[in-house]
Amino acid sequence: MTQVDRRGVALGGFMGTGKTTVGARLAERLGLPFVDMDAELAERFGELPEQFARDGEQAFRLRESALVSELCDGVPRVVATGGGAWVSPGNRARLRRHYHAVVL
């Protein structure tokens, strides 16, 4: 098992840079599970624009940070983070500590 397999990969970058597309392909190639954070948050709480309108950005960012913490459980995977997930210093530190970080 390689170091990437043990830590996984967290993809960051602006909206529309291909994190989901690249992440899914990379996960398949590495034989790791794939998580798209935006899709996971939408499944749990409703579509992202609805969350922002209903609950505000602060509530969304708290959910996003909670998901980052949840995904830093030592299970190797490929994660496509949300476009704003890396803005939080805490999220950045956790993701860098638990994953190989790649910015697209």
More confident residue, 91 or 3: 91
Q: Is the pLDDT of residue 6 over 90?
A: no
pLDDT of residue 2: 62
Q: Is the pLDDT of residue 3 over 80?
A: no
Query: Mapped to the 3 state alphabet, what secondary structure does the chain carry?
Result: CCHHHHHCEEEECCCCCCHHHHHHHHHHHHCCCEEEHHHHHHHHHCCHHHHHHHHCHHHHHHHHHHHHHHHCCCCCCEEECCCCHHHCHHHHHHHHHHCEEEEC
* pLDDT digits 0-9 by tens, 37-90: 999 999 999 999 999 999 999 999 999 999 999 999 999 999 999 989 999 999
Q: Which domains does the chain have, with CATH numbers?
A: 3-103 (3.40.50.300)
